[in-house]
Amino acid sequence: MRVSFLVGAPVMLLVTLSCGTAGPAPAGGLGFDVPNPPVAAYVIGDSLKLSVESPMGAMAMDRSSEMTLSMSFERVAEGVQVSAEVDAFAASMTNPMAGPITADKGDLTGLLVFVVGPTGEVEPVSTPTISGSGAQLGSFMSVAHEFFPRLPGRLVDAGESWVETVSWSGGEEGTDISTTTVYTYTLIGDTVVAGTSLLRISVSGDTETEISAAMEGMKVDQSLAGTTTGDFYWDAERNMLHSADLERSLSGTVNLPAMGMPPMPIRASGPIRTRLAN
C-alpha cells in the first residue's frame, strides 16, 4: 500500500517583537490595493509531520517545501491582479512504504496568477503545474487562496475582530480538493520587526478538507479537520504583507475502498512561514 500522497495538497510560516497599542487602521480602511512599489518577492516555507495508523502499524512521514515567488501587482476592475513567477522551488516527502519523493523548479510549468478583491477575496486565473510524482507535494491553488489575510475594508481599532469564511475547491493531477476555513482575525496593534513598523493581525481558523485522489488506479478518500493559528504582519505604509507565521493541527481519516479496510486515522501538524525577501 502506498500512502505517499497523504495530505500532499491541503493547506500549506521571528524575531523579538516590541508591541504597543494601535489607533485606527490607516485612512481609507484596512484593505487591499496595489502596493508601493508594485513588486515583491516572498519566501514560503511549509513543513508537515504526518502520522497514519494503518493495520500494519503507525507510519510517520515528513513533507516539506520551500519556494520563492516574485510577484507583480496591477489594478484591474475586480481589484488587484497578482502575477507570481516561481524563482525557486524544492519539495520532498519521506515515505516508509515507497521511499522519498522530491520535486524542484524543473518540474514546474506556468505562472501563478490571481485577482485579490478589496477585502482579500480571491479569483484564481492560472496556477503552475507540477509534473510526475512531485504533483502530490504542493498545491498552488491553496497558495492563491490563503497567501493573504482577509481584511475588513474599513477602519478598525486595536482589539477589534472580524470573521471571514474562505472556501475553495479544485483539482490537480487527478486529485479533487474541497476545503472550508472559518477565520477569526484580530488586530492586535502596532509592532516593530527588524526596524519596520507593522500591524500585527492574529488569526484563528477552523478547517474542514475533503480530498479524493486516484493513485495507481486505486481510489483514496481523505477527510481532515483542525485548526490554523498564528499571526500576519501587515506593512500599512507599503500596503502589503510583510510576513506570516501560522501553525496547523489536523486530524481525520484515510479510506481506501478497494482494499476493504476500515478508515485509517491520520494526524498532521506543522508550520507555514512567509517572509518578504525585498
Confirm whether 2 is domain-assigned: no
CB-CB neighbours of 163 under 10 Å: 11
Residue-range definition of the domain harbouring residue 269? 18-276
Q: Is residue 225 part of a domain?
A: yes
Residue 214, SS3 per DSSP: strand
164 membership: H or E segment, kind and range: strand 161-172
Query: 11 lies in a domain?
Result: no
Does 10 map to a domain? no
pTM of the model: 0.84
Residue 41 placed within a domain: yes
Closest CA to 238 of 203, 199, 200: 199
Residue 192 lies in a domain: yes
The reply to whether 1 falls in a domain is no
35, 238 in Cβ contact below 8 A? Answer: yes
Characterise 3 by phi-psi region: left (phi > 0), alpha (psi -120 to 50), beta (else).
alpha
Are 94 and 62 within 8 A, CB to CB? yes
**Dihedral (C-alpha) 125, 8, 230, 53: value to the nearest 10 degrees?**
150
Confidence at residue 59, expressed as pLDDT on a 0 to 100 scale: 85
Q: Residue 88: what residue type?
A: A
Per-residue pLDDT of the chain (278 residues; tens, 9 = 90+): 333 323 333 322 222 223 333 333 344 589 999 999 999 999 999 999 999 998 878 889 899 999 999 999 999 999 999 999 999 999 998 877 667 888 899 999 999 999 999 999 999 999 998 887 676 676 788 899 999 999 999 999 999 999 999 999 876 666 788 999 999 999 999 999 888 999 999 999 999 999 887 666 678 888 999 999 999 999 999 999 999 999 999 999 988 887 778 899 999 999 999 999 98
The whole-number pLDDT of residue 215 equals 63
CATH number of the domain where residue 145 is located: 2.30.230
At 68, which amino acid appears? T
Max Cα distance, the chain (Å): 60
Per this entry, what is the length of the chain? 278
Domain count, the chain: 1
Q: Choose among 239, 222, 216: nearest CA to 25.
A: 239
Has residue 6 been placed in a domain? no
Q: How many CB atoms lie within 10 A of CB 269?
A: 16
Coil vs helix vs strand at 144? helix
